[in-house]
């Protein structure tokens, strides 16, 4: 199995070395760090630690993931992972397992299914994620509890979904389109720790509120656009 790991970064010099060092080398074929305008040495540290660095000057988390996906070298599985050392790259087997065993097409690491340090995910982030996951469960069916960034998918499936969300929508588009297309989206528990370095997206209440509004409205809009395709299993 060829496994490509994509890591979006913007000024993660303090963390990126640890993230790369913790990836299990025997499971990973290539690591692509997609960097947006870091001025703290992140790309250099990433390259020194064995990653291929791709520059993406256009900002946006989803944009970085899409650019990384386009640059992968014919993988079987693609993994997305943040560069702030909140997720534990050593837990990669938890995400790969169900796909390799043929039980899942996409796996999502849930940060809310097990005990964690409270500061890792402040209450507003935990609440926003539970709310969005609950709405997806209710409208679309997959049994998910979180919209975590640490996730994996079969490369052919991700390509077939024609993902296009360049900002917050990235967190849900893969789940909604994957489920509607009949792919198996399976959640697995992962651990989560306070990030190293400064928050870029949802660390503040304002950031979380903006992300939550965008994501919740996308889930509802998408449902009304595609509801004929929703085949929810009976409760």
Ligand X SMILES: Nc1nc2c(ncn2[C@@H]2O[C@H](COP(=O)(O)OP(=O)(O)OP(=O)(O)O)[C@@H](O)[C@H]2O)c(=O)[nH]1
Q: Which residues of this chain interact with ligand X, rule CB under 6 A? A: 8-10, 12, 34-36, 56, 59-61, 64, 82-84, 86, 195, 199-203
From 29-37, 61-69, 73-81, 192-200, span contacting Mg ion (CB under 5 A):
192-200
| Calpha distance 53→16 (Å, rounded) | 12
60: partner contacted, choices Mg ion, ligand X, none (Cβ within 5-8 A by kind): ligand X
| Calpha distance 233→225 (Å, rounded) | 20
Among 65, 195, 212, 223, binds Mg ion (CB under 5 A): 195
Listing DSSP states for 209-232 in one string gives HHHHHHHHHHHHHHHHHHGGG--P
User: Would you give the binding string for Mg ion spanning residues 137-176, x where CB under 5 A is met?
Assistant: ----------------------------------------
3-state secondary structure of 147: coil
Work out how close the CB of 229 gets to ligand X at its nearest, in angstroms, rounded to a whole number: 29
35 binds Mg ion (CB under 5 A): no
CB nearer to ligand X: pick between 104 and 171: 171
Work out how close the CB of 2 gets to Mg ion at its nearest, in angstroms, rounded to a whole number: 27
61: partner contacted, choices ligand X, Mg ion, none (Cβ within 5-8 A by kind): ligand X
Q: How far is CA 200 from CA 10, 61, 62, 163, 206, in A?
A: 8, 10, 13, 22, 12
Q: How far is CA 169 from CA 61, 104, 106, 118, 147, in A?
A: 9, 22, 17, 25, 11
CB nearer to Mg ion: pick between 84 and 165: 84
CB nearer to Mg ion: pick between 56 and 82: 82
Interacting residues of 74 by C-beta distance below 8 A, sequence separation 6+: 2, 155
Work out how close the CB of 112 gets to ligand X at its nearest, in angstroms, rounded to a whole number: 14
């Amino acid at each position: 199995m060829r496994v490509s790991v994509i890591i979006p970064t913007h000024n993660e010099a303090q963390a990126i070395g640890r993230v790369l060092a913790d990836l299990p080398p025997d499971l990973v074929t290539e690591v692509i760090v997609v960097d947006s305008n870091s001025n703290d040495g992140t790309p250099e540290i990433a390259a020194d630690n064995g990653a291929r660095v791709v520059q993406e000057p256009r900002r946006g988390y989803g944009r970085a993931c899409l650019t990384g996906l386009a640059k992968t070298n014919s993988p079987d599985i693609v993994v997305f992972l943040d560069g702030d050392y909140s997720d534990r790259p050593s837990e990669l087997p938890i995400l790969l397992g169900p796909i390799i065993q043929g039980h899942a097409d996409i796996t999502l690491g849930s940060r809310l299914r097990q005990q964690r340090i409270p500061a890792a995910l402040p209450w507003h982030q935990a609440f926003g994620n539970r709310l969005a996951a609950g709405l997806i469960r209710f409208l679309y069916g997959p049994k998910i509890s979180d919209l975590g960034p640490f996730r994996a998918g079969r490369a052919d499936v991700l390509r077939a979904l024609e993902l296009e969300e360049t900002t917050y929508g990235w967190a849900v588009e893969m789940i909604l389109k994957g489920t509607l297309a009949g792919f198996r989206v399976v959640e697995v528990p992962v651990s989560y720790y306070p990030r190293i370095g400064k928050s870029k997206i949802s660390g503040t209440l304002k950031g979380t509120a903006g992300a939550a509004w965008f994501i919740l409205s996308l889930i509802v809009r998408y449902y009304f656009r595609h509801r004929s395709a929703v085949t929810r299993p009976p409760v």
